[in-house]
Every structure is written in structure tokens, then in C-alpha cells.
Amino acid sequence: MSESHSAYYVPAQSRWPIFASVALAFLGYGAATFINSLSGDTPASYGVFLLIAGMTLLTLILFGWFGNVITESRAGLYSGQLDRSFRIGMVWFIFSEVMFFAAFFGTLFYVRTLAVPWLGGEGDKGVSQMLWPQFTAAWPLMETPDNTLFPGPKATVSPWHIPLFNTMLLVSSSVTVTLAHHALLRNDRKRLKQWLAATIALGIIFIGFQAYEYAEAYHELGLTLNAGIYGATFFILTGFHGLHVTLGTLILFIILMRVMRGHFDPQKHFAFEAASWYWHFVDVVWVGLFLFVYVL
């Protein structure tokens, strides 16, 4: 390691953050307009094209950006101090993700514990029940207060079929990624590749089963974004989690490609650790989803 970088490393100025901000703007605006068009209140818009463009640009930017980081790391430019900075940054990133999902879980709690009972006539704010005297407050809502505009679903998703199987898949994937980490610490490259590949396979299978569940819920159970607050919270919570699983699977695949190129050793492998931290976080979130969205 160069002596000039032994204490602190300041990376060169980069345009990647600016490019990423532009891509995120396209992605966010495109996603919002596309979801609004799905409600049927607005005609089909160009949102889907902006969404695809934003996702494509962001993917290319991240590959280039992290490619620079990998090159710098392999060149020995990073010191122990910068390694600690990376770890602290990843901890804060996961904390931000915790708060992201906490907001959605909080919404679910508010709706189930407060808003729905109020609509049923309970508590000081139960006077709203006078607007819909025939409404029955029970979760999940099979009939919404205005069942004409927002028809409730025909049935709920059973937790004991695909959701339970997906839970087993993700819990197993936490075990396999941990075994891969232990193999790396022993410098057992063969086992490392095998356990990483198994984790990726489990993630892909999870995504496939969730897509099948979505199609079944949408077309056969009448569970859509317009199916009242139950449909909205179901798709928001499970959809964002599915997006995180997809991203985590892609990250692990890139880690596997780096392993196959000879990257990482038992002493220096923070990128692998960061990917495994993220994957464990995604698994824990799913356990919460399984309990509070599907079972309870």
C-alpha cells in the first residue's frame, strides 16, 4: 500500500453522483406516473418508458461507479481507515432501509389498529361510521366502505402455500450465505462458489414464486392496487421487498463473478460482507412480512 494513502484516502472527483441523481429522477417520476396510470383514473402515460430508462441508466451508472471502486481497491489504494468508513456507510445504509420499511409497517399498524376500527364506530373518532353504517370493521378488509369505487378482493392470499415456501427459501438462503462466508474465511474457494451459487439460486426461485403469487392474486383473487387499503398495503410491502430481493440477488451474482476472477481473501473481503449484511436484512424483513401481512 502506498504510504501516502496509509492514513486517509480522498477519492478523485467523480461525475457518477450527478449521473446517478439524474437517473433516480427519471426512475422516481416514471414510477409515480406509471402507478397512477394503473389505477385507471388517468390514461396510459409515458411513465413506463421513463421508469425503464431510469432503471437502465442507474444500472449502467452503478456498474461503472462500482467498477472504479473495485479498481481502486485492487490497486491497494484503500487503507484501514477507509475500510472502516465503508463499514460505517453500509451500516447507515441498512439503517435507512430499516426506517424505509418501518414506515410501511407503521402504516399497516395504523390502518389495522386505528383507522379501520374508527370506520367501524369505535373510539372518539368512530363518528365516521355514520357515513357507511353497513360497513363491518374486520381485517383484512373484504369489503371497503365504498365498495363500488374500490371493490374488495374476492379472497386473501393463503400464508400456508407460496408465502410459507418462500419463507423457507429465504431462511435457507441466510444459512447458505453464512456458509459461504465461513468458506471464504477458510479460503475454501470451491465451497465459497458453491454456497454463493446456492444462495443466488434460492433468491431467483423466491422471485419466481412471488411473481406467480402476484399473477394468481391479481387475476383470480381480485387483489389489486384498487382493492382498498388491504390491496394497497399488500402490494407496497411485498412489492418493495421483492425489489430488494431482486437487487440483493444481483449483488450476490456480481460477488460470485468477482470470486471466480480471484477477488477477495480471508483478510480483505468487505464487499462480500456488505452483500451478506444486505441479504440478511432482506431475509429478516420477509419474516416480518410473513407474520404481519400474511398470517396475522
Question: Quick one: which of 76, 60, 67 has its CA closest to 26?
Answer: 60
For the stretch 238-278, pLDDT in tens is: 999 999 999 999 999 999 999 999 999 998 899 999 999 99
**pLDDT bracket for residue 140 (50, 70, 90):** confident
Sign of the torsion angle spanned by Cα atoms 270, 95, 163, 51: negative
User: What's the pLDDT at 1?
Assistant: 43
User: Considering only CA atoms, which of 110, 116, 154 is closest in space to residue 132?
Assistant: 116
pLDDT in tens, 65-77: 989 888 888 888 7
CATH 1.20.120.80 range(s) for the chain read 78-108+146-295
pTM of the model: 0.87
Does 196 have pLDDT greater than 60? Answer: yes
Task: CATH 1.10.287.70 in the chain: give the residue spans.
Answer: 12-76
Cell of 123: 373510539
| Mean pLDDT for the stretch of residues 200-214 | 96
- Please tell me which of 59-63, 82-86, 151-155, 209-213 the model is most confident about, judged by mean pLDDT: 209-213
Burial 204-219 (b: 16+ CB within 10 A, else e): eebbebbeebbeebbe
Q: What's the confidence (pLDDT) of residue 3?
A: 47
Q: Which CATH number fits domain 12-76: 1.10.10.10, 3.40.50.620, 1.10.287.70, 3.30.420.40?
A: 1.10.287.70
CATH assignment, 78-108+146-295: 1.20.120.80
What digits encode the pLDDT tens for the residues 33-72?
887 776 655 555 678 888 899 999 998 998 999 898 888 8
- How far apart CA 198 and CA 249 sit, in angstroms, is 11
Cβ burial 29-64 (10 Å sphere, 16+ → b, else e): ebbebbeebeeeeeeeeebeebbeebeebbeebbee
AA letter at 31: A
